[in-house]
């Protein structure tokens, strides 16, 4: 009996995936073979998407959270006409190919997020659904649903085991994100064997407790049942939905189906041949797909193009009916909206008295929100401490989706991923916040921010042993060195209001990199020499009167004032030093060599750095013979103003270090 075009199309996805993995001799065939019917059904019969314009604003979003199954996505992108060629599939996992081992955002058209760390895609999908919900509440008018799309995310048992998915979906259920639909590729297999060795809970019951609608498809090879389940999920307008689809890993390959060995290794030449025979795929030529199947996918893509055409007509009418909303739409999508702050003197003079940089940051956020209407952010249950609450903008919730203040709950890891997802969706400028020490929980998703070139802003407060009585569990030591080691990531530790303004200006104008603002709990004085030069990462705060300084003191944050005081004391002993404030080591490295030499001349080898954090990494700027006044162990529980002298981070210690150099 001849197969239907749908069955043959599903098998085309399977064959292309198996061939690419076999040619590369590397990859994960299990997920593409098992999940092909679900993915095909979603992409061909449900999703709004236009291959001719992968960035169409009102497209449905699809995230492959199980990024190891990337060939499933690449096969879909190829067959639907997103620009991936057969040659691209043949170069799977090869250097500079458009088909890397895991999907990479900005690298391959149609990839909505970089996935691979399991569960991360799940959480980013929650962020996208939050963005859609907020934007629809802001812009939609009666008869003009200009923001109206779904977020679909596909992942397996590994994604469900990772704690990040628990955090993210708990929040999604609380928020009632009804346009979030999770497709759970449930095959009961993990790398080490059956999932029952480590994972026996009812995932559907867990999702019910989150507040999700839960549905079950008993046979993952039944496209009609999958279609019915997704249709039912879409009909629920009050809850997000999770569809458990029971599949067999490596489906269709007789020797591998249902076995752990199908997960992460090529099937083998003989098994690929057996897969073809079992599926009734007659052509034995690798990567060969009959023309009528290509024509079928092209006809679906052409039909889908009309979805965008219809939306474009609707949006044109919307702009005429609501010109003020069209103007607001343009503001929301203006990547340069924060550039105006460079010449805004109020912005640069937000405070003229001693104040904590977290407080100054809070004032800056509330100043910027007046000109950046798409600010959308919050904290992991710490907004009163991190000063990230935007007054008069309301809370984003199930009942009030128009609010702009996000409450992530105590979910730092998911918070960062959700922030990525909000930015990836487009139209919003998100920020997230917690205590600096908890950046350890944030780090894996901050790494994805950097990798994806997503300019998410991280507001991280309580920046040093100045936290005080909370003790070593809450006093960051090594965290700044961790962020400085991260490529394409900018960590600012400002010393006063001017430098905090510089940090926010940089963050709000960043296009291709995330930024962390590392902010103090304790009050810091405003420094007479601070300036917009902080936008270069480091600058001369107070200079020597000599052509060649006797020494250079480099400091960040609260310790810049110690360096200033140390210079005064040294002058009394006829030692004339330069004080360099270095709020962002990462940004200073970006400056021309000539500027770096101007600030830190190589002829001056006598150098001291002071920072109430780990001394790791300062050798780059003080040299192997320089001195670093900082932390070499963990903190302690006591008032912050007692801890600095206890750990030897004082003006006198800086003076002694300079004199030791001389």
Q: Beta-carbon neighbour count of residue 590 at 10 Å?
A: 13
* Diameter over CA atoms, the chain: 98
Give pLDDT tens digits for 78-131: 999 999 999 999 999 999 999 999 999 999 999 999 999 999 999 999 999 999
Taking a C-beta distance cutoff of 8 angstroms, is the pair 485, 317 a contact?
no
Give pLDDT tens digits for 529-539: 999 999 999 99
How far is 180 from 170, CA to CA, in rounded Å? Answer: 13
The reported pLDDT for the residue numbered 1 is 47
User: Which H or E run contains 555?
Assistant: strand 551-555
Residue 244 annotated among the catalytic residues of the structure = no
- Number of DSSP helices (H) and strands (E) in the chain, helices first: 25, 20
Three-class secondary structure assignment of 589-645: HHCCHHHHHHHCCCCCCCEEEEEEEECCCCHHHHCCCCEEEEECCCCCCCCHHHHHH
- Of 611, 555, 598, 552, give the one whose Cα is nearest residue 577: 552
**For residue 633, is pLDDT > 70?**
yes
Q: Beta-carbon neighbour count of residue 118 at 10 Å?
A: 21
Q: Beta-carbon neighbour count of residue 547 at 10 Å?
A: 5
How far is 526 from 177, CA to CA, in rounded Å? Answer: 44
Three-class secondary structure assignment of 391-460: CCCCECCCCCCCCCEEECCCCHHHHHHHHHHHHHHCCCEEEEEEEHHHHHHHHHHHHHHHHHCCCCEEEE
Q: State the distance between the two ends of the chain, measured CA to CA, in whole angstroms.
A: 91
Share the mean pLDDT of the chain: 97
Per-residue confidence at 625, pLDDT binned at 50, 70, 90?
Answer: very high
Taking a C-beta distance cutoff of 8 angstroms, is the pair 555, 579 a contact?
yes
Q: What's the rounded mean pLDDT across residues 140-159? A: 98
Structure tokens at 635: 């903190």
- Percent of the chain exceeding pLDDT 90 equals 100
Q: What's the rounded mean pLDDT across residues 62-70? A: 98
Alpha-carbon distances of 466 from 91, 232, 553, 557, 645, rounded to whole Å: 53, 54, 21, 11, 11
The reported pLDDT for the residue numbered 289 is 98
Taking a C-beta distance cutoff of 8 angstroms, is the pair 376, 404 a contact?
yes
The reported pLDDT for the residue numbered 3 is 92
Q: What's the rounded mean pLDDT across residues 500-515? A: 98
Structure tokens at 225: 């049942």
Q: What's the rounded mean pLDDT across residues 56-70? A: 98
Burial class (CB in 10 A: 0-12, 13-18, 19+), 45: middle
Per-residue confidence at 12, pLDDT binned at 50, 70, 90?
Answer: very high
Length of the chain, please?
662
Chain-centroid distance, C-alpha 175: 20
The contacts of residue 395 (CB under 8 Å, 6+ apart) are 403, 405, 407
Per-residue confidence at 2, pLDDT binned at 50, 70, 90?
Answer: confident
Give pLDDT tens digits for 159-180: 999 999 999 999 999 999 999 9
* Range 134-150 burial, b when 16+ CB lie within 10 A, else e: bbbebbeeeebebbbbb
Give pLDDT tens digits for 303-354: 999 999 999 999 999 999 999 999 999 999 999 999 999 999 999 999 999 9
**For residue 296, is pLDDT > 70?**
yes
Instruction: List the catalytic residue out of 412, 542, 559, 611.
Output: 412
User: Which H or E run contains 163?
Assistant: helix 163-175
Instruction: State the number of CA atoms in the 13 A half-sphere of 351 facing the CB.
Output: 24
The reported pLDDT for the residue numbered 374 is 97
* Range 256-293 burial, b when 16+ CB lie within 10 A, else e: bbbbbbbbeebbeeebbebbbeebebeeeebeebeeeb
Q: What's the rounded mean pLDDT across residues 434-451? A: 98
Q: Beta-carbon neighbour count of residue 317 at 10 Å?
A: 13
How far is 143 from 162, CA to CA, in rounded Å? Answer: 41
pTM of the model: 0.98
Burial class (CB in 10 A: 0-12, 13-18, 19+), 336: exposed
């Amino acid at each position: 009996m001849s197969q239907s075009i749908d069955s043959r199309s599903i098998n085309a996805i399977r064959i292309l995936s198996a061939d690419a993995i076999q040619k590369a001799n590397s990859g994960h065939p299990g997920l593409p073979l098992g999940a092909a019917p679900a993915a095909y059904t979603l992409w061909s019969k449900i999703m709004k998407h236009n291959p001719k314009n992968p960035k169409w604003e009102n497209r449905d979003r699809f995230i492959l959270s199980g990024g190891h199954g990337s060939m499933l996505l690449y096969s879909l992108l190829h067959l639907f006409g997103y620009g991936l060629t057969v040659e691209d599939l043949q170069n799977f996992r090869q250097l500079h190919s458009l088909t890397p081992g895991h999907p990479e955002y900005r690298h391959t058209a149609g990839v909505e997020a970089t996935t691979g760390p399991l569960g991360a895609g799940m959480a980013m999908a929650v962020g996208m659904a939050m963005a859609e919900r907020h934007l629809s509440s802001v812009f939609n008018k009666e008869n003009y649903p200009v923001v109206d799309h779904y977020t679909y995310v596909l992942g397996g048992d590994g994604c469900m085991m990772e704690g990040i998915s628990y955090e993210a979906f708990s929040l999604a259920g609380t928020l009632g994100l009804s346009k979030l639909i999770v497709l759970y590729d449930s095959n009961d297999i993990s790398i080490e064997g059956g999932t029952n060795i480590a994972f026996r809970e009812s995932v559907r019951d867990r999702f019910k407790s989150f507040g999700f609608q839960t549905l079950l498809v008993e046979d993952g090879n039944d496209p009609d049942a999958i279609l019915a389940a997704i249709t039912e999920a879409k009909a629920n307008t009050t809850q997000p939905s999770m569809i458990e689809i029971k599949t067999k890993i490596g489906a269709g390959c007789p020797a591998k189906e249902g076995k752990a060995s199908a997960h992460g290794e090529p099937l083998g030449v003989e098994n690929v041949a057996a897969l073809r025979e079992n599926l009734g795929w007659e052509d034995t030529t690798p990567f060969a797909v009959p023309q009528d199947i290509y024509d079928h996918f092209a006809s679906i893509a052409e039909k889908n193009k009309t979805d965008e055409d219809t939306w474009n007509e609707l949006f044109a009418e919307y702009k005429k009916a609501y010109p003020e909303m069209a103007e607001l739409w343009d503001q929301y999508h203006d990547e340069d909206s924060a550039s105006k702050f460079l010449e805004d003197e109020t912005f640069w003079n937000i405070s003229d008295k001693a104040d904590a940089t977290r407080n100054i940051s809070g004032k800056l956020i509330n100043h910027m929100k007046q000109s950046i209407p798409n600010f959308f952010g919050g904290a992991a249950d710490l907004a009163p401490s991190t000063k990230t609450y935007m007054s008069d903008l309301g809370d984003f919730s199930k009942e009030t989706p128009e609010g702009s203040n996000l409450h992530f709950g105590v979910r730092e890891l998911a918070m960062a991923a959700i922030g990525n997802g909000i930015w990836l969706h487009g139209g919003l400028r998100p920020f997230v916040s917690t205590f600096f020490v908890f950046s350890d929980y944030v780090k894996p998703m901050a790494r994805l921010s950097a990798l994806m070139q997503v300019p998410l802003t991280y507001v991280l407060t309580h920046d040093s042993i100045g936290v005080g009585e909370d003790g070593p569990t809450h006093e960051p030591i090594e965290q700044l060195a961790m962020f400085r080691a991260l490529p394409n990531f900018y960590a600012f530790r400002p010393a006063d209001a001017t430098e905090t303004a510089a940090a926010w200006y940089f963050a709000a104008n960043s296009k291709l990199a995330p930024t962390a603002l590392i902010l103090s709990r304790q009050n810091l004085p405003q420094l007479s020499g601070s300036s917009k030069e902080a936008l270069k990462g480091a600058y001369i705060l107070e200079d020597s009167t000599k052509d060649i300084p006797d020494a250079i003191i480099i400091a960040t944050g609260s310790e810049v004032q110690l360096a200033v005081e140390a210079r005064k004391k040294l002058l009394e002993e006829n030692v004339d030093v330069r004080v360099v404030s270095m709020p962002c080591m990462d940004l200073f490295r970006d400056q021309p060599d000539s500027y770096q030499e101007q600030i830190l001349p190589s002829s001056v080898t006598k150098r001291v750095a002071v920072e109430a954090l780990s001394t790791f990494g300062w050798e780059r700027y003080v040299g192997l013979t320089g001195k670093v006044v900082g932390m070499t162990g963990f903190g302690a529980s006591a008032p912050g103003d007692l801890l600095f002298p206890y750990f030897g981070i004082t003006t006198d210690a800086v003076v002694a270090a300079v004199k030791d150099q001389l």
